[in-house]
Structures are given as structure tokens and as C-alpha cells.
Amino acid sequence: MTSRAGIGPRRQPQQFMRLSDNLYEQEVIVDDDLTLYTSGRKSTGLRSAIYIILCVITGGIYYLICRWNTAIEMKTKTFPCSLADADYICIKNQWGEISLNRITKIDFGMKASMIFPRSFTEVDASQDIILDHLRFYDYRYFKFFFNPNTEMFEPNYAWVDSNWTSVSRVFLEQDDDQEIHSKRSIFGKNQVEIQEKSNFRLLVDEVLHPFFVFQIASIILWSLDDYYYYAGAILFISVTSSIATFLETKRNINRMKDLSRFSCHVRLLRNGVWVYMNSEEMVPGDLFEIESGSLNLFPCDAVLLTGDCIVNESMLTGESLPVSKSPIPDQELASLDFEAEEPASSPHMSKYFLFSGTKIIRIRPGNQAELSKKYPSIIGSRKGAIALVVRTGFNTTKGSLIRSMLFPRPNTFKFYRDAFRFIGVLAVISGLGFLGSLYNFIKLGINWETIIIRALDLITIAVPPALPATMAIGTSFAISRLRKSGIFCTSPPRVNIGGKINIMCFDKTGTLTEEGLDVLGVRFTVPNESRFENPYHEIPSLQPVRFSRMYRTIETLMTKPVPISGALGSTVPEYPSFGPTMSGVSIMHSNDPNNPVVEPDFPYPLIICAMATCHSIKVVGGDLMGDPLDLKMFQFTNWNIEEDFSSNVAAKKTVRNGATLTVRPPWVPAYDTVTSSKNFGTETFTELGVVKSFEFVSNLRRQSVVVQRFKYSGSTAVGNSFTESSSDPGIYPEYEVFVKGAPEVMQSICDISTFPKDYNEQLRYYTHHGYRVIAVAYKKLESMSLASVQKLKRQSVETGLLFLGFIIFENKLKPGTFPVIKTLNKAAIRQVMCTGDNVLTSISVSRECGLVKKSSRIFIPRFESGQSHEEDARIVWEDVDDSNLKLDPVTFKPNGDVSPERLADYQMAITGDAFQWMLEFASDEIFEKVF
């Protein structure tokens, strides 16, 4: 069995290491896409003189050869030496590209531990010498500094201050002016500034390209042979091609500069005083204030220290969704390590990380009173959140994104490889023709001038000089046509690749289907038999359950309001006749049948409570923002949501202690309305508060929240059902857990007895008809304090749950999906759908949009034995419409009585767990047959 490394989690390699004992060579693993092999080189006056002499005596030909082949230039001008003594550094990446970079020396005058903090954490302090100078080189906007302790060049993009061990230490230990100046020498200005070549240099690069030089030589040769018209035509084509390439290059560079350039004024803490400065002056270790209205975009990479933020990270993810950021705990700050974990790809660290270039939606300060007591000289009257600068310039996530656009992976397009081979074969043929012609011309006694012209003319005939120019012009026209359609290309060679695409991979939601989903309805669990039909009677013990009928609106689920005796004229919705269920008359259940919890003021099924609380919706300026699915789900309930309690401090301290947001039914008035009015008397109202949440994680495919009931009335704030100040210290508030996620994962975290017998049948029905299904589960936490709830780990919350039911969404195709798929089919371009949705839903959408024929048989994998993490697991492939029809495990051809035409027309849909198993354990032969 083989394992395919490189597909899966980001590797955590050693970032730099020696390749030889003589200190001449070094390997630097920048990231998964770039590995550098460097060696020290030193130049002497003698070697430089030899290089100049060779260029002069060859009439510049040796200069051109060295320009086209850096290895020859390097060997001529320099010789190998240790990295410590090097004047130049030879850099070779994993694609064989070689460059020779000069090493720069600048004044420093600070301790080595300032720039290499990790190298001096475990050594004697006496070794932490003062560096009078810093030696470094630049490569693709990376900076590598020479570390005298390790005698290697180390990058500065992974720099982390050794003082960043706690938030308190960051606040109390600020850099002085000398340290800030030194950091600016290390990191440069906080700007993503693209170094633009001058027009003269761009023209020289174009003119001295090998193909252009060959064209000029051919034009001179033809002119000497009186082919003026042909030479003039080729000259016109060559000049036009060069000008078009030059203008396109300038246009791309200017577009990239406009995209990357950004600066603004920020409020920085310098020498204990908050001052406004240009964002270009920021260095790692600075503290800056984020205040609503003062900043629209983050000017650097930072971690949040106080307050909370909602940001839009569409620049990084492509999804315009609000993302919440919370203050980083001391433990996470102390473990910050950019070599081991890149925040952009870490769901764990990204919660505290503010990425450069991302848009600020909302800023809220932290607990100003508490912070002012701890740091009176720093916090003072600050009205915004405070963040710590950790990366600037090209070291930021935005800088990495711009760098990837400036230096894309080398083109491995087969067309170019074959084109160069073709030209190489023509060159060999022309060389043989040249030698043959030379021999015959000498034998015939023709003069040398004619011999040279005729023999070289044969080379220009065999190798067409106009070929590169005409291809460049064609590419330029293609780019201009694409630009008119709003498609921009930063790498012209990619245009030709676009013409050779043979497979297209699509996401489903938002790509093939509409961005938003509509709630078709909900179906929740009800008992098969119940002795009680009145929901306010005793709640019976758990009965075998079944699915309720489909409730397509909240109005059909909750009938018209009716007065409830003793509620002082208030009204609550009348509960339907399906009786008390595990999905619940109330938000809570009693474990003691003889002492039931009766709550006529809150008769909503638990699945509605889950829909109202288990989401990532934020309130910004009175508008709801969040994932489209969450928004549709919450809007289905018609509930109200409140997130910002800052206007009512009393509410936060009493009723809503610990809640990040609260939701309430539409008939429940707001807390401020009730407590500020005398019209409600002692009437009590209930709302739900989310005290802890675990965000959706793609590999877990679920999201969960811990919810607490909060009660209030006009006369007094009732607080929780039980308050922590109760006379009985052993009685704590009761909390509920709501979880929503993929139906497939719910079976592993829920009590199996709470699933209806037709669970899989119902799931199959809805997914088979193209609906998206979200499963919901619940459990109650007992005898826990708020502090204990806040410390809960995800694995302890999302286990032992009770299944509540299904939320069913419908997702319509985009109007342009079918025509695009039809066009791709006509072009014989294969299409693949890649989605995190249920496989049956994906199959239904594929058939509907024409991605697969409706008559095609589609086979899906099922683990007959074992699990996806077990090597000896066995997978069978079954027809989605007929489970008796399977694929042969060796040939992957359908078994059974199948007609030849149907035998040739079948597709395979692979699930995530089966794909993971094949990546890790399947043989190459099986992998190739499937894909």
C-alpha cells in the first residue's frame, strides 16, 4: 500500500538546515510550494577581470550566454566559500531556477537575540553578542539574515518576540526608540510595495531574449542577402510583438501595484503615549487601536488583545461572510509559532488573528473598567479594541498572496515542452544542413562571404524566426479579449493553458446553485405512542420515536396565540396536538416523571430553539450578517436576536451574565422594554442566551452552542431558573447543548435509541431529490457552574446527544448553470463536482444540471467492513438506485445483468471518508482506475 504525502494537512518541516559539513550549502524550506538550496559564493578582482575580457573578445556573445545561463556567470565570476565569508549567494529552487544574489550589509548595533530570538533561548547569555552589522539577501521579497550562532541564513517571516508570553507582558514591556529603529532595519516599512523595473530595463530584457536576438540576427542576414521586404516584415512583427509584450507587462505591474498598495493613519502606542502615525511605520511588537470608523482595512497581520471584532475575509477565502475574532489567551500567545502553524490555515489560531487587507465590519472594546484598572496608563479612555502587530509588509498573509501572483509556479504545460523539443529537432536538422552545405560550398570553391550567408540562411529556414513573435501577438490579442470580459491574466503563458483544459471542477452551493438556500421545512422526532396529549401534563418516559410530519412554516407549527390563565393578559402560541416529545414541549425536561417541569410560557419544540441559537449570525448596525444557510434558518423561526448589551450594563451583570447573544420568540418583549415599563407587572418572560459556542469546522462537519434560559419581569430581574447566588450552593443553572451538522456525523455522537427507525430512509429520500438536509441534536448539562461551562472542551460537549430532527433546505440551480454545462459537454471537457454536501444531494443536482445524464447509473462507496482510518477496511460500490447492482472490486465494472450500452454509461461518486481511505491505503493501480 502507498500513502500520498502532500495531500492533507500542511507539513511541519524543519525550516532551514545545512547540506554539508563545510558550511558552504544550506536548504531553506519556505513553505510547501518553495524550497531553496543555497550556497555561498565569493568574487575576486581577477575573476571579474576575466569575465570582462571574455565579454569583450567575443563581441558580447559571452555576456549573452551568461545572461541566459546564470550557472555559467556564477562559475566565471565567483568561487565557492562558506556562508559566513560569502559576498554572493547562489539560490536554486526545486524547479531548477538559479539566481545569483548579492549579500547586503547594514549597521545594526543590537544583540543577536533580537533578530534571532529562538537561537538564544537555551544558550548562555554570554553568547548573545552584539551584532555591529547585519548580513542579508533578498529573494522574491523574502529576507534572509545570517545568524552567527548557527552560521546559516535564516528568514525573518517567522520572527516571534520572546517577550510575547502573556498579554500583560506585551502591555507592560514596550519597545523603545532604538529597538523600533532596529526592527525597521530588519523588517523594513510596513508596505507591500512591488519593485517596478524601469522602462529601459524592461526593453533590454525583451530585446536580449534568445528568440529576439535570433530574430535580429536573421533580419541582418536576410538584409545582407537583399531580402529586404521579408526582413522588413519580420522586423515589423518582432517590434510589434515586443512592444505588445512590454505594454502588457507594464499594465500587469501597475495593476498589481494598485492592488497591493495601501497605507492609512493608525493610533500606535509609542513610549507610553498614543499617537497617530502612518501605517507604514508599524513594526512587529507595536500596539495599535482599532476603532470603528477610523479603520476600514487591517494594515498588518496582528493578534487581538482586547475587545472583539467582526471582519470580512473574502480577500483570503473568497467567501464574503462575517468572521468573529476574540482576544488571544495567554497560552495561545505564548505558543505562537509561524514555522509550525500558519494562522491562515489554522482554524484554531485564526480565531484570534487579524489578517492584513481584510475588511473591518464591527469593532467593540473589551471590559474597559477592568482593563483600565490593570493598565491605567495604556488603556485610559480608549474606545476601541487593541491589537499586537506580529507581521508587516510582504511577511503578512496579503504579502504572501501578492507574492504568489508575482511568482507563479513554473509552467509545465506540455505544449511548451513539445514546442522547444520541436525547435531543438529543427536546430539539429539545420546544423546538419549547415555542415553539409559548408562542405559542398567549399568543394565548389565559392567565396567565403557567400558560403557563410548561404549556410546560415539554411538555419533561418529550418528554424522559423517569426514563430515566437506570432505566438506572442496571438497571446496578446487573447488577453485583450479576455480583459473585455472582465477576466485578467497576470501570466500570459497561462492563456495557452486555458485552451488545453480537459477537466473542470465545480463547487455546488453558490457555484452551480444559488448562493442562498430556502428552508423547505422541519421534521422532528415525536413518540410513536404517548399516554398524554396535553403538553402541560406529566412528561412520560422516553418512547420509541418517529418523525413528525413536515412543517413548512412556523405558523403551521405554532397556531394562533391564546390567553394563558395567570399570565396577566399575555398570549402565547397554542401548541399543536402531537403531544410532549423528546423534541420537546419545553426547552427543558425533568428526569423525574413525578416532578415534571411545566412551562406554559415557553412552548416551543427544541428543534426551533436549536434553529434560533445554533448559528454564527452577527448583528451589525441592526442588520443580520452570517452564512446564508444560518440566515435562512434563523429567519424561519421569526425570532428576535440581540447581541450588544453594552447599553444596559445591569442586564449584562444580572440576567445575561456570560451570554454572547440572546434570542427570544416574537411575542416576548425586549428586556429593556419590560424593565423600563410598569405595564408588565410581575409577568415573567424567557429568552435564550448563548454562553459558549463552537464554530463550524469543516472536518467535523458540525457546529454547537451551549444555551441558558434567562428570565426577567417588570418588577425584578429573575435571572436564571437557579442562580449561582442561591442559598443552596450545590444548585446550579441548567444548560442545554444544541448541535447542528451533517446527518452522517450525527450517528456517531447521538444516542442510537433516539433515532427513528426510518432515519436513513428519510435522509435518502430528501437527499435523493436534491434537498440539503441538516440534522439537529440536543442534550442537557446539569450541576455545572458558568465557569465550568466556559472551560468545557468540544469533545465533551458533542457527545451523548439526543437526536431532534431534520432541517430541510432546497437549493435551486443558477440560471446560467445548465447552458455552461451544455457548452462544456459539447467541448468534450470533463466536469467534476466537489462539495461538502451529502453525496445523494450532489448526485441529484448533477443530474438536474446535466453534469451527468439522467439515465446514467451512478455508484457510491460504502464501507462493508472497517472504517476510513483502518487499512484492512473493505469498500463496496453500490448503484444509488439499486443497491443490488455493484461494481467489481478489481475491474470496477458493473456486475450482474446489465446491457452493453448501460455498461458503458456509468459514473462514480466518491465520499470524503472513502477518498481519504484511498489516499492513505489504496494501491496506485486502484487509485488510477477510480480517478
**Is there a domain that residue 185 lies in?**
no
Domain-ending residue, one of 156, 178, 206: 156
Do 512 and 525 lie in one domain? The reply is no
Threshold 0.75, pTM exceeds: no
- Say what percent of the chain tops pLDDT 70: 82
Q: What is the DSSP string of 209-234?
A: SHHHHHHHHHHHHHHHTT-HHHHHHH
Closest residue by Cα to residue 426 from 398, 467, 388:
467
Cα–Cα distances (Å) from 896 to 737, 865, 904, in that order, read: 48, 22, 14
Do 116 and 13 lie in one domain? The reply is yes
**Is there a domain that residue 303 lies in?**
yes
Do 564 and 624 lie in one domain? The reply is no
What H or E segment, with its residue span, contains residue 143?
strand 142-147
**Is there a domain that residue 193 lies in?**
no
Handedness of CA 895, 897, 902, 904 (dihedral sign): positive
- Give the Cα-Cα-Cα angle 63, 64, 70 (nearest 5 degrees): 85
Do 8 and 135 lie in one domain? The reply is yes
- Nearest 10 degrees: CA dihedral of 384, 387, 393, 398? -80
Amino acid in position 492:
P
Do 609 and 597 lie in one domain? The reply is no
* Residues listed for the chain: 931
**Is there a domain that residue 825 lies in?**
yes
- Please provide the distance, in angstroms rounded to a whole number, between the alpha carbons at the two ends of the chain: 17
Do 783 and 879 lie in one domain? The reply is no
Do 568 and 512 lie in one domain? The reply is no
Question: Which listed residue (87, 225, 507, 672) is catalytic?
Answer: 507
For residue 774, what pLDDT is reported?
93
Grid cell, residue 777, equals 441534536
Helices marked H in 90-140: 112-115
- Give the Cα-Cα-Cα angle 505, 506, 508 (nearest 5 degrees): 150
Number of domains in the chain: 7
For residue 731, what pLDDT is reported?
40
Tens-place pLDDT, residues 756-784 = 888 988 998 888 887 889 999 989 887 78
Closest residue by Cα to residue 753 from 506, 528, 479:
528
Do 577 and 536 lie in one domain? The reply is no
Closest residue by Cα to residue 34 from 289, 393, 408, 362:
408
Amino acid in position 386:
I
Do 9 and 111 lie in one domain? The reply is yes
Domain-ending residue, one of 850, 872, 899: 850
> Residue for cell digits 539554411?
458
- Give the Cα-Cα-Cα angle 366, 372, 375 (nearest 5 degrees): 110
Residue 584 DSSP label: -
Q: Which parts of the chain register pLDDT below 70?
A: 1-23, 120-127, 318-320, 368-369, 372, 376-377, 380-382, 411-416, 462-463, 490-491, 516, 528-544, 558-604, 644-657, 681, 714-733, 896-904
With contact defined as beta carbons under 8 Å apart, do 777 and 804 qualify?
A: yes
Do 338 and 286 lie in one domain? The reply is yes
Do 40 and 52 lie in one domain? The reply is yes
For residue 539, what pLDDT is reported?
44
- What is the spatial distance between Cα 843 and Cα 847, in angstroms, rounded to a whole number? 6
- What is the spatial distance between Cα 675 and Cα 751, in angstroms, rounded to a whole number? 41
For residue 89, what pLDDT is reported?
93
For residue 300, what pLDDT is reported?
93
Grid cell, residue 528, equals 410513536
Return the CATH number at 310: 2.70.150.10
**Is there a domain that residue 715 lies in?**
yes
For residue 647, what pLDDT is reported?
43
**Is there a domain that residue 620 lies in?**
yes
Domain-ending residue, one of 809, 838, 865: 809
Grid cell, residue 247, equals 505594454
Tens-place pLDDT, residues 323-345 = 888 899 888 888 888 887 888 87
Do 327 and 430 lie in one domain? The reply is no
507 counts as catalytic: yes
Q: Which domain holds residue 114?
A: 4-156
**Is there a domain that residue 243 lies in?**
no
Return the CATH number at 765: 3.40.1110
**Is there a domain that residue 12 lies in?**
yes
